Amino acid sequence: MKKTAESCMIVATLIATVVFAAAFTVPGGVKGDTGSPNFLKKVSFIIFSIFDPISLVCSSCSIITFLSILTARFALEDFLWTLPMKLVLGILTLFFSIAAMMVVFCATFFILFSEGIGKLAILATVLASIPVLLFFRQQYRLLWEVVRSTAFRSDSLISR
């Protein structure tokens, strides 16, 4: 659990760094006279503006959750409920962070390339869904096993 938390915390930190930087490097640039984004009225820019902070918040929550696992006291009773549920919460927020980051990536492609080469933006969207689906597929069993063994355990485990 500790190694998983360490690895996932590194990934969440990288995502937080990237989406934080993306918030201040607006795709398409800004107007020189007003400082407002050039593509402010485009739907894809609004999607970018919504999902970038969602990704930042989810990755930050994931970092905090994994940090709480690493700094836990690791008492026997913590392994029955607290630590497994923190692991589930951390992985879920990391998943939502990855998914939101990919939406931001796709929205950026639509902002920049929808008018000239729209097919490139569609291809980028299809390709961006692969890491999200891959992460979900690889972590689903771990999540299910942790939830099943924690939430649906018999009373005999609690009395131990």
Mean pLDDT rounded to a whole number for the chain: 87
In the predicted model, is pLDDT for residue 96 greater than 50?
A: yes
CB 45 within 8 A of CB 107: yes
At residue 152, the pLDDT reads 72
Summarize pLDDT for 22-77 with one digit per residue, the tens: 988 888 888 888 888 888 888 999 999 999 999 999 999 999 999 999 998 888 88
Enumerate the β-bridge partners of residue 30. Answer: 37
pLDDT at 18 over 50: yes
Number of domains the chain is built from: 1
Residue 127's domain spans which residues? 2-159
- Tell me, what's the pLDDT at 160? 44
- pLDDT for 39 equals 85
DSSP string, the chain: -HHHHHHHHHHHHHHHHHHHHHHHS-TT-B-TTT--BTTTTSHHHHHHHHHHHHHHHHHHHHHHHHHHHHTS---GGGGTTHHHHHHHHHHHHHHHHHHHHHHHHHHHHHHHHTTT-HHHHHHHHHHHHHHHHHHHHHHHHHHHHHHHHHHT--HHHHH-
pTM beyond 0.85: the answer is no
Q: Is the pLDDT of residue 6 over 90?
A: yes
- Please report which confidence band the pLDDT of residue 153 belongs to, taking 50, 70 and 90 as the band edges: low
